[in-house]
Structure 1
Amino acid sequence: MMNDPDLLNAASALIARCKAKGEMIATAESCTGGLITGTLTGVDGSSSVVDCGFVTYSNEAKNSLIGVGNDLLAEHGAVSEQVARAMCEGALDRAPNATIAVSVTGIAGPGGGTDTKPVGLVHFGCAAKGRETITTHTVFPGDRHTVRKATVLKAFALIEEMLDRKD
């Protein structure tokens, strides 16, 4: 999937914008398992804007690597707005050079969904130095591949939105 032209074109455009604005990216990924960072680093010149990526698939990893509270995970579940916010803010805090961090946590499928958290539900967070954190969620239709691809593109769009908030 990291060779997908749609993803690589979007990554290339994002890298150019981040470079022009002097921004460095960190990621905190659950349902994409590193695909956001992998797609970004598939583009020449990505080292000038990609700081690091945290793949936090388990709740234990979310807690120990990026500081998502166990109480938050227990109360809201890993797939929630609150956890997406804590993930991006924790990644931004722990990344050595990042100025922007994006997070994704969701249910890519084909199993794991419930009535209140269906397959395709993904929560996003984007935090940046000196700017208010953005959170959103989407339920993407389709199979696991489609949900993960759509999640990467939405994460890129969220970073673009954050770039527009820079003075």
Structure 2
Amino acid sequence: MNIETKFLGQTEIKEEEILTFEYGLPGFPELQKFVLLSLDADLPLAVLQSTDEAQVGFVVAYPFVFKKDYTFEISDEDKEDLRIANEEDVVAYSIVTLKESFPGSTLNLLAPVIINSAKKLGKQIILQDNAAYPLRFPIGSLEGSAK
């Protein structure tokens, strides 16, 4: 099936790639169907795109590339919502706030997007220890962060 996207124009997706966010995302509770679209195979970035609303898409990043010691616990309630049975099925992303130059962009480490890849379920959670990670973590240069 084809969908219109915010950043990539019209894109073909497969039905089995669609992720369900039962509670939507903060600010978009009515949008529950999203897909992850790769931006560049060499970058740890993707687009979390609504399948229902072309203008709702978020650049997301694999946060561990930029903050190697990033770690958090998923609450029992969130595990239940996401039907997590195996830790290997869990993938975490951070929403990126893009700036004019990429090194000036930031990651939201306070509220990761958690995906259960086996069940195709997603949820953005707010970490309980609010002081541990910032809402706007500076990305810096990708080359410098990856070393």
TM-score, normalising length from structure 1?
0.27
TM-score, normalising length from structure 2?
0.29
Q: Which has the higher contact order (CA 8 A, sep 6+)?
A: 1
